[in-house]
Structures are given as structure tokens and as C-alpha cells.
Amino acid sequence: MRTASALLAIFSLVGLVACKDRLFDNPFDPEAETRAYEIQSTLQVAGIAPLDLTFSGDALWAVDSLSRVLALNYNSGALIRELEFPQPAGGIAYDGVDLWLSVRNSSQLVLVNIVNGAQIRVLNLLRGSFGPLDYAAGRLFVADYLSNAVLVVDPQTGAIERSIPHPGFLIDGICHDGTNIWTIDATQMMFFRLAASGALENQYQTPSRTASGLAFASGIYWCGDRTGKIYKIRFP
């Protein structure tokens, strides 16, 4: 028995040495991949507690816990500018031209000019209490707290085309990478990767207990942290 324990300890030490420092996975989850992801860098954004993120090509945008709409330097996290928005914002998405914002604790989505914040269009959906969102393939993917689901919304009409049940307890972040839908559940410290159909494909441990907000661009996933950080992540 002592020999077996010693061998196990040696094996564990070898495994730890072999692991890369910035790779995370959940050892208690048999469905999780062994090699999960690499944190390429961590942006320090003091005074900002991100709720949601989006990438516009020249800036990383954040909606924070104070409902501020902020453009950040995507290399340093430095504040570039703040966009005025009179309502409490809960989510943000870039559609290739302008920004979509969800109004917190409501079923309203607002399209605003990315330069001056002027309102372009308002969608009042029939139901929902919205948080994080993303834009991909001509559709909005909206986190709905009431149904604990991702709503696929036509940005022209506001029609809810599909409702995808969320495998976690609460949606703290959402993004679409062109193939998969990704969500965060901070209470479980989990990323969930969903197929286009909504089927759960895999899950991974988040880098912290306060992860919030997701964005994707050019192979990079940006994950916010309410303690004032944003992680730049790459999955293999």
C-alpha cells in the first residue's frame, strides 16, 4: 500500500511538472478535455467590473457593473473613451458597424452609433430579462435570465427565432465563434461550449470564480473578471 501511494505521489509530481502553468481544466469533470486553454495575457482594468465584452477590431468594449459603456485598449486594458447611454446597460455586441446594448432587467435591445452613442433602433421583445449578448451570422444571441436560455433574435424585426436552454444556472457571458455558442456560469466556474443545435459539446473550468462577459475575435476569446481583469484566452 505504501509503495502504491509513493508511486501515485511521484506520478502526480511528474504530471504537475509536465503541465503548462496557464492551462486550466476541471479534474473532477470526466467530460472536460485534458488540455483546456491557455491564458495568453491578463489585462488589468482597475475600477472596471466587466459584465459583458465585445471586440470591434480596434477596441475591446465593456459594459461594467456601473452600466458604463467603455472602449478599452485591447493590449493594455487602458480606457480609451466612454460612450454615453442613458439606460442601465447589461450586455454589448458589435455587429460589424455599430453596437447593440441590452437594457438590464428588461426585454429591450438598443442599437447605438459606435462613435457618438446616438440611438439607431430599439427592439422591444415580447418577453425576457436580458443580460450579455453577442452578434454573429446576422443574428443576436441574447442571454435571457427569465428562461435561463440563449435567445436567437432577428435584429431587424426583434423576432425570437429560437430559444436554446442553458446547461448552467445563470448566464454570465456569451459569445459565438462562428461555429459554437459559448457561455459562462460563474456559480459553477464553468465555460460551456454548445453546438449550433444547442447540444452541450464540452465544458471547461473558468480562470476565476467571478468570470463575467465573453467576446470572440480572430481565434481569441476574451473573458472578463469582476475583480478588474480581462483574460485573453486561446483554446487549442
- pLDDT, residue 35, reads 52
Nearest CA-CA partner of 90 in 136, 128, 34, 138: 128
Residue 7 lies in a domain: no
Neighbouring-strand partners of residue 201:
none
Residue 89 lies in a domain: yes
Helix (H) or strand (E) holding 13: helix 2-18
Residue 79: CATH number of its domain: 2.120.10.30
Residue 3 lies in a domain: no
| 3-state SS class at 40 | strand
Residue 119 lies in a domain: yes
Residue 13 lies in a domain: no
- pLDDT, residue 174, reads 98
pLDDT tens, residue by residue, 16-35: 333 333 444 444 444 544 45
pLDDT tens, residue by residue, 69-106: 999 999 999 999 999 999 999 999 999 999 999 999 99
pTM for the whole thing? Answer: 0.86
Q: Identify the band that residue 2 occupies on the pLDDT scale cut at 50, 70 and 90.
A: very low
pLDDT tens, residue by residue, 175-207: 999 999 999 999 999 999 999 999 999 999 999
Q: What residues make up the domain containing 164?
A: 23-234
Residue 124 lies in a domain: yes
Neighbouring-strand partners of residue 217:
220
Residue 80 lies in a domain: yes
Torsion from C-alpha of 148, 149, 155, 159, nearest 10 degrees: -100
Residue 12 lies in a domain: no
Assess whether pLDDT exceeds 60 at residue 53: yes
Backbone angles phi, psi at 18, to 5 degrees: -70, -25
How many domains does the chain divide into?
A: 1
Assess whether pLDDT exceeds 80 at residue 8: no
For CA atoms 186, 207, 222, 80, give the dihedral sign.
positive
